[in-house]
Amino acid sequence: MSGLALFFIAPLVFMFVSSLKPSGQVMSDSNSVRALLPVGDISLDNYSAVFDRVPVGQFLFNSVLITVFIVVGGLFVNSMAGFALSRLEWRGRGLVFGIIIATLIVPFETIAVPLVYWVSMLPTLVMEGGVLKYDFGWLNSYHVQIVPFIANAFAVFLFTQYFSTIPKSLDEAARIDGASWFMIYRKLIVPLSGPAFATVAILTFLPAWNQYLWPLMTVQKEELRPVMIGMQYFFQLNPEWGEVMAYTSMITIPVLVVFLAFQRAFVSSIAATGVKG
CB-based contact 185:80 (threshold 8 Å):
yes
Among residues 5, 11, 24, 7, the alpha carbon closest in space to that of 243 is found at: 24
pLDDT at 132: 67
Residue 153 in contact with residue 77, Cβ under 8 Å? no
List beta partners, residue 133.
126
Q: What confidence score (pLDDT) does residue 277 get?
A: 44
* pLDDT reported for residue 65: 94
Determine whether 164 is exposed, middle or buried from the number of CB atoms within 10 Å of its CB (0-12, 13-18, 19+): middle
pLDDT at residue number 254: 84
Q: Is there a contact between 151 and 77 (Cβ–Cβ < 8 Å)?
A: yes
Report which of 184, 177, 163, 150 is spatially closest to residue 77, judged by C-alpha positions.
150
CB atoms within 10 A of CB 234: 18
Look up residue 142 and give its amino acid: Y
Contact assessment for residue 29 and residue 40, using Cβ atoms and an 8 Å cutoff: yes
Q: What's the CA angle centered on 30, arms 25 and 31, to 5 degrees?
A: 120
Tens of pLDDT along the chain (277 residues) come to 888 888 888 888 999 999 999 988 888 888 888 888 888 888 888 999 898 888 988 999 999 999 999 999 999 999 999 999 999 888 999 999 999 999 999 888 889 999 999 998 888 766 666 666 777 778 888 999 999 999 999 999 999 999 998 998 988 899 988 889 999 999 999 999 888 898 898 889 989 999 999 999 999 888 999 999 988 888 876 788 889 999 999 998 888 888 787 777 666 656 655 554 4
Residue pLDDT, tens place only, 120-135: 888 876 666 666 677 7
Residue 276 and residue 167: Cα distance in Å, rounded? 11
pLDDT score at 209: 93
Q: Give CA torsion, residues 22, 27, 30, 35, to 10 deg.
A: 0
Distance from C-alpha of 69 to C-alpha of 199, rounded to nearest angstrom = 17
Distance CA 160, CA 86 (A): 5
pLDDT score at 248: 92
pLDDT score of 156:
95
Q: Please tell me the predicted confidence (pLDDT) of residue 268.
A: 64
CB 196 within 8 A of CB 162: yes
* Domains identified in the chain and CATH numbers: 1-43 (no CATH), 55-273 (1.10.3720.10)
Distance, in Å, from the CA atom of 256 to the CA atom of 206, rounded to the nearest integer, reads 10
pLDDT of residue 276: 47
